[in-house]
Amino acid sequence: MTRWNNGLDEVERVSPDITDETNALPAWYFTDPEVHELEKEAVFGRYWVYAGHANCIPETGDYFTRTIGDRELIVLRDHDGEIRAFYNVCAHRGSAIVEDTPMTDPGNARRIQCPYHLWTYDLDGDLASTPRSFEEARLNPDLDDEDVPELDAEDNSLMAVHTDRIGPFVFVNLDDDPMPLAEQAGELTDELEALPLEEYRLARRIVSEVECNWKVFAGNYSECDHCQANHQDWVKDLELLESELEVDDYHWTLHYKHKEDVDDEMRIHDEHEAQFHYFWPNFAVNMYGTADGYGTYLVDPIDEGRFQLVADYYFRESELSEEETQFVRTSRQLQEEDFELVERQQRGLNTGAIAQAQLGPNEHTVHRLHRLAQEAYDAYADETAEDRSHEGEASEA
């Protein structure tokens, strides 16, 4: 049952059963700035989040930056060829070290040096050197040089962030003790690693700012009940009745068959189908089945009413063929059609008229998305309450 803000209906938590009346998140979770702040910790500070593509930093010292919530990260390839991530924060006095460096134009450095006081770090994050002024006390009349302690390289290292990969896709986790990426990804790992994704290079990037909450767009992406009415140019070439939907704990995959055969040489995967993978919380991979390539999509929140969609397209060559150009064109058309839909939904939510929506029986992926958000909020609330309890016990002692 849809619940309205008319003083009569009360909202409830998302039910685990999609057939229950309260099968959607309360509407205020899509409009409240406090929820946006909560999600920086409860969602993006706890789960594995896509950072970027390994092929964009192929050489030792290559790096790009990535901001998750309010946290700026440096993602780099070290001397052993491994990809690491660190907070973009100097261990000296907390200065940001490098400027914003997109994955499309990565930087390269033998070492990472903070421009403020020239503290310099190896690619493993350890402190490599400091200026002489940190070794001598010549300007401090109360200290002799021999009283200046030596700075330990490891104790004064950059703050590392957990990293892991699925094929060429690099993920980071800001939690101190995260679940393994393999646990969060489930069968998605095998599905993606069965494809030769690492053979492809970034060829195009399109960045869009959209006027809606990121969960609204994620919900739109997760179902295709709206496709027949709103993506008519696309669905005319698909057998929607032959579609399949696979749902795992933290990801879901939609498969759609093409009506006409597609040359196998133009395929990244077997069978003539489109594959849409969504990985909680905000990452997607698309294979439209009409070109030798794929797209990745990052749904990055800006605030409670806006997100940024970063759409990257990967092909074997940077010079696109006719089929590859059509791939990007089709993807962009679908995005623009969806932008109109989700911004319309956000406008309705912003009126405050609806208190809690009602999902349909085939929107079980949307229900799963809402449940994951609810579970994240609840887990963070429980953890925060436990921390406060321990603080209270410690103060009484």
pLDDT tier for residue 390 given thresholds of 50, 70 and 90: low
Q: What percent of the chain lies above the pLDDT cut of 90?
A: 74
Same domain, 22 and 123: no
Same domain, 325 and 223: yes
Residue 6 is predicted with a pLDDT of 85
DSSP string for residues in 129-157: E--GGGT--TT-TT--GGGSPPPPTTTT-
Residue 266 is predicted with a pLDDT of 41
How many distinct structural domains can be found in the chain?
2
Residue 240 is predicted with a pLDDT of 57
Residue with tokens 């992406």: 221
Nearest to 312, CA basis, from 56, 70, 75, 64: 56
- 46 vs 130: CA distance, rounded Å: 34
SS3 at position 340: helix
Residue 358 is predicted with a pLDDT of 94
- Close Cβ partners of 172 (under 8 Å, ≥ 6 residues apart): 48, 49, 51, 66, 68, 73, 75, 85, 161, 162, 163
Residue 241 is predicted with a pLDDT of 53
pLDDT tier for residue 254 given thresholds of 50, 70 and 90: confident
Residue 49 is predicted with a pLDDT of 98
Tokens of 284: 């997607």
Same domain, 8 and 33: yes
Contact present, 120 and 96 (Cβ < 8 Å): no
pLDDT tier for residue 264 given thresholds of 50, 70 and 90: very low
Q: Which of 62-66, 71-75, 139-143, 356-360 has the lowest mean pLDDT?
A: 139-143
- 364 vs 339: CA distance, rounded Å: 22
Q: What percent of the chain lies above the pLDDT cut of 70?
A: 90
SS3 at position 324: helix
Domain-located, residue 225: yes
Same domain, 24 and 64: no
Residue 263 is predicted with a pLDDT of 46
The boundaries of the domain holding residue 126 are 49-165
Last residue of one domain, picked from the residues 110, 145, 165: 165
Same domain, 101 and 147: yes
SS3 at position 252: strand
Mean per-residue pLDDT, 369-380: 97
pLDDT (tens digit per residue) in 227-248: 778 887 876 766 655 667 889 9
Residue 135 is predicted with a pLDDT of 86
Nearest to 287, CA basis, from 305, 304, 299, 271: 271
Same domain, 257 and 358: yes
| Residue 355: CB atoms within 10 Å | 19
Mean pLDDT of the chain: 91
Is the pLDDT score of 197 beyond 50? yes
CATH number, domain of 152, equals: 2.102.10.10
Tokens of 67: 């901001």
Same domain, 71 and 121: yes
- 358 vs 201: CA distance, rounded Å: 42
Same domain, 21 and 73: no
pLDDT (tens digit per residue) in 271-320: 456 789 999 999 999 987 778 899 999 999 999 999 999 999 999 998 99
Same domain, 255 and 378: yes
SS3 at position 341: helix
Residue with tokens 């006095």: 93
Mean per-residue pLDDT, 189-195: 93
CATH number, domain of 267, equals: 3.90.380.10
- 40 vs 35: CA distance, rounded Å: 9
Residue 301 is predicted with a pLDDT of 98
Residue with tokens 């069978």: 271
Taking each helix axis from N to C end, the angle separating 214-221 and 322-350, rounded to the nearest 10 degrees, works out to 130
The 8 Å CB, 24+ separation contacts for 223-227 are: 223/362, 223/363, 223/365, 223/366, 224/254, 224/256, 225/360, 225/362, 225/363, 226/341
